[in-house]
Every structure is written in C-alpha cells, then in structure tokens.
Amino acid sequence: MHTQRIGVLTSGGDCPGLNAVLRGVTKAAEQLNWQVIGFQDGFEGLLPPAHYMILDHFKTDEIMQQGGTILGTTNRGHFGGKVGAGEKARVPVEMIETARQTLGELGIEGLIVIGGDGSLSTALQLYEAGLPIVGVPKTIDNDLQATSMTFGFFSAVECVTDALDRLHSTALSHKRVMVLEVMGRHVGWIALFGGVAGCADIILVPEIPFKWEKVAEAVRQRDAQGYFSTLIVVAEGASPTDGDELVYRSSTVGENRLGGIGQMVTREVAERTGKESRCCVLGHLQRGGAPTTVDRLLGTGFGVKAVQLIAEQKFGTMVSYKNDETRAVPISDAVHLLRFVDPNDQMVKTARRMGISFGD
C-alpha cells in the first residue's frame, strides 16, 4: 500500500535526458513505497480535468534511451512565468489555486517540476504561494548559474560535433567556407564545446563580440597557409561589436526567438573574402534523439535527488550539480541568473592555443 503520492511534470522545450529523470524519480520513489503521478503537457496537466498517468517501473523501464518526454511538454499555456530575457510574468492567482486544488484532490504531497529558467520561474511562484515544489533544471544551453551542468547539453554538443564532421568533407571538397548556426540563446556553451570537439576554425559566441574584418582575416589567413576550407560555428545569440543579436520573430507569448546570424556571417565572409560560402542552421535537431551517456547519468541522478529532497521536505529547492556532487539550492537563487561563457574560461583558452579564432 502506497504511503505517499508525489507528482512530476516536464515543462518548456523538450530535451534529451528528460525520460532519464522520470525514470530516476520513479525508481527512487518506489524504493520508498511511494506512488508517482506524472502530469501531462507540463503545468497544463494540472488544470481540471487533470491529465496524468501513473508512473511505475513498467512505464519507465524502457524510456531512458528515448529522446523527448513520455509526459509531453509545452512552453505555452496558462502558467507562463517568463515573457522575455530578464522579464517575468505573474502566474494568475486563479491558476495557482486550481493547481493547489488538483494536488489536494490527488493527495500529492510534493511536486517535482523539471524545466528551464521560465518553468522554474513559474515553479517558484507556486512555491511562494505555499505549494510543495522541488525543481529540476533542464536546458540544453547549460546556462543556469546555480548548476555547473545540465542534462541535454552534451547531447546537443554531440549533434553539433556530428554536423561539423559532415560539413568538413563538403568544405574540403569544394574549398568552401561552411557556417553552422547553433542554439544557445544568450550564451555560447554549445557553440564553444561543439566547435572545439568538431574541429571548427572560427567560433563566434555572444560573450565575445566579434569584428567582421577579424573573421574575414582568419579565413584569408587559412587560405594563405594552404587550408582552403574553413568551418565557422556561430551561436544564435552572437553579434558583431557594432550590432545586436538578431531576432527573426517576436512571439506574442514567450521569449523572442533568435536566428539569422548564420546567414549574415555567410554573406559577410563571402563578400569580404570572395570565398564560396554556405550556411547550415542546425535548429531543433539539437533537441532531439537519444541522450548521451553523460546526460542519462546526470538525469538519473537529478531524479533520484529530487525524490530525496521531497522526503526531507526541502521544498522551494532545486537540484544542482557542482564539484562532482548533486546537491540542492534555493529555486530563488537559480532563476534569472544565466551562466555565461567567461572569455577567460579554460575551454576558450584551449581553443585559442590551437589557433581557433573568436573574431575579436
């Protein structure tokens, strides 16, 4: 007989490793003889009539290797807690009360919210209203200050690395410049790690504004050295010293979408060097597919830790990974604090020492 019920939901964009978290939560809860209620389609599953499924070892045994989330997710709906970079929307009081009623009717004694900055902003508001919330960070961008690593990041990096491997052969064959635009929003971790792992020659990130002539000079220098092809990785939020990050569509709900810098880099390089240049936008391929081993391990550990925090009634906290240890930090310390690439980061230094240009 189950002595306690806990809930879990996945919110925001999909991400490799979400199912690993759900499996970790379920396995750890069953060891305590608890029942797990998985709410479907993010916070929307809390609205009446509540949409959920019972998670047990039969439902979760074979999901670790699957991308996405078996619960479904959304970054739209009635519980939006963020409207743009650095901006926060208040969750309507009636939505909070509806969530409270749903949890009460189902006997949920703790709710695990798996999401990024926006979803955790909503989770924080629910906690401040008295709901028993524990957060699990989720973002492929690896951009939360409160944790040194998030699951999904290395899966995204692997996708970038594979794309660069493939682009390398066509760049060599045609003596072209190949530009790969990758995700990351306002930070450049995916571009940095993927660029180094995929043997890029130029890496452009938001934290290091670049100069067009410096980028062109790096391409010309490679030609002079007998390397007639060049791979450029550019983060979607990167921008030149005299420009701003590009927004290709401003949604009426949620954050602005970034994009277009890849095409701009391709055009400028072609005009300034005379080199045939092509652009590839990797897009949502970085979010899909099976999680890497690292992301499976990290997601599993996050799920197990979240259950432990509920057992200890440490509500209002978020699972964090620092110094090779899974720990807890206040959700309030986690949201709205992005972890940017330090221009003096060890990986940046490693790249520079190999001759990789950052266009600065």
Query: Given strand 325-330, what is the order of strands in its sheet?
Result: 52-55, 34-39, 4-10, 108-115, 133-137, 317-322, 325-330
- Pairing verdict, β 257-258 and 277-281: unpaired
Tokens coding 11: 């919110």
Q: Give the active site residue among 41, 117, 141, 201.
A: 141
Question: 334: how many CB neighbours lie within 10 A of its CB?
Answer: 23
Q: 293: part of which helix (H) or strand (E)?
A: helix 293-311
Cβ atoms < 10 Å from Cβ of 175: 13
Q: Is-contact 282 181, C-beta < 8 A?
A: yes
Phi then psi for residue 357, to 5 deg, are: -95, 145
Concerning whether 143 is annotated as a catalytic residue, the answer is no
Per-residue burial over 44-63, b if 16 or more Cβ lie within 10 Å, else e, is: bbbbeebebeebeeebbeeb
CB 259 within 8 A of CB 246: yes
Residues noted as catalytic: 141
